[in-house]
Structure 1
Amino acid sequence: MKRKNFWVLIIAIAILCIIIPGVSGAYKSLSNKNGVQTADQANGEQIQEATSQQAAIPEESREVDEEEDQESPEIYTVQNGDNLWLIAQKYKTSVGAIKELNNLTGDDIKPGQKLLIPAPGTQLRTTENTEAMPSRGLDGSGRYIVQEGDSLWLIAENFKISVDLLKQLNNLTGDRVLPGQTLLVSGTVKPSNQQVAPAPQDKPKQATPAKPKPAPAPEPKPTPTPAPQPRSSVVETAQQYLGYRYVSGGNSPSSGFDCSGFVQYVYKQHGISLPRTASGQAGVGTKVTSLAPGDLVFFTRNVGGGGIGHVGIYIGNNTFIHARNEKYGVTTNSIGFFMV
């Protein structure tokens, strides 16, 4: 009996060893088919999700701000004798750009005033109204009157001509134009009629007796450069001498000019004789209440009795041209802020 029980126990153990692994494998297969996650699978998915989140972080950090920093404008303090045109020339910008940056509606500035100067490369709205240039600046004869902030390039661009043609039409040798100056903006330039003389044909050489060599002729003296010719108006004639040197007592392009000598010389080109001194010229003129281009403007001395001490020629836009001093020579200045 005991032996029989022993074999029953052995058989039962063998059956359990066969059944239990099969049931365990079926359970794992069933759990995978029914979407049940084991701990290892859950941990694997969490690791994969964390990795994908870490990989996405650099994508968000790649956004770059495309705005470029612009240089801050420079601050300039207005000095005695300054005007907007001189300041614009000094900082390589335009009068219109300075006026727009500082919200100026006129051309008047005063010593001690602070002005913002546009940084190089700064784009302002100074060209927004240039489309109106052909109509705003033409006079009755179809010539353009130069405005504040104009340049040869800007004028040529708006009238659809080249800068070279614009300079040829107006006999300009440089690139500077001044407010109030009149320019032809249409027409053609006639080609030069000069013809090259044909070279003489070679003639057969003939034997000639030797002659003594003549004494060498004296070398011709160099022809002096002709002075600029008078233009159609006093202002145009005066503007031809911008940059000429200042010499006390001078009254000609070759010797230089002082203030009254410059005025006397310019008016003489138009057949008008004036006294030699500023006070003498003030005595023969007629006082006016409204200035026009070509009128004379006189300044009294701040010291020494306050008499007439300086004279210049008004060219428009509250600006005059004059022989200022040894430093500046013949130049332009704003009337309101010039002091003798």
Structure 2
Amino acid sequence: MKKTFLKKLAFATSILSCTAFATSVSAQSITVQSGDTLWKLAQKHDVSTHELIETNNLSSPTLHIGQSLTIPNDMYTVQSGDSLWKVSQRFNTSIQAIKRENQLSSNVLHAGQALSIPEQASTASTYDVQYGDTLWIISQKFGVSIQNIMNWNNLSSTQLYPGQTLHLKNQQNYLATNMIETAKQYMGTPYVWGGDYPSQGFDCSGFLKYVFGKHDVEIPRTVATIYQEGTFVSKPERGDLVFFETYKPGASHAGIYLGDGKFVHASSSKGVTISSMSNVYWEPRYLGAKSYY
């Protein structure tokens, strides 16, 4: 879900003062009409009930005819050279969240296109249900599916109650686990230079792009350009990419870190395989690790 208007305004102001990014933050004032509810207004203006409550400092979900409400709006204008990955990194959110927020069916962006920027998914392990909450609203807030929330809490019904505590899992760890499971499905797939699909084989960057793409995380196609993106981490965690200098100076090989000093990658000699970071070949060639979601 998006941040409150004041937080978004402060964030956007700092961005504008430091960069040339064309962001715009605005708010619309409306008057409550007969039949209006928080849920109806949230759906009409493509915001959450939480945003409306927080932005307007409401102590109750009950609205009154003639009441004035502020509708927050947070938009970004796509610039030449932008990609979903770059925009997601700029605003500290995920590609999947941006696509969901803007109902995008592809990763292609066009200069001048207006995007609504969602807030980064929360990573809390528990959540207390608030007035106006639904499973859908909570799923969007935490970046998980309704079915997962129901499974994690043994819910037999979608009905929620204010004050009810829901157990949630960290979405980043959840994504890393799923991504690793996907990568392992292609163990033994042969190495093919330029390959980026299971039926034709993979080279190392083609393998990474394919696996990440299966989870709506967009990365560049070559190891060198992948290395230029992302966020450096001093110690890799599961799902991060680890980079190596092999046949030429700079990053020329990479894999997905599995934990316990191991990584899965498309090896030129073994195809998709799991190797140890402490291997006599890989250890001296290690360059570092980066996170991409």
TM-score, reference length from structure 1: 0.31
Indicate the structure with greater strand content. Answer: 2
TM-score, reference length from structure 2: 0.35
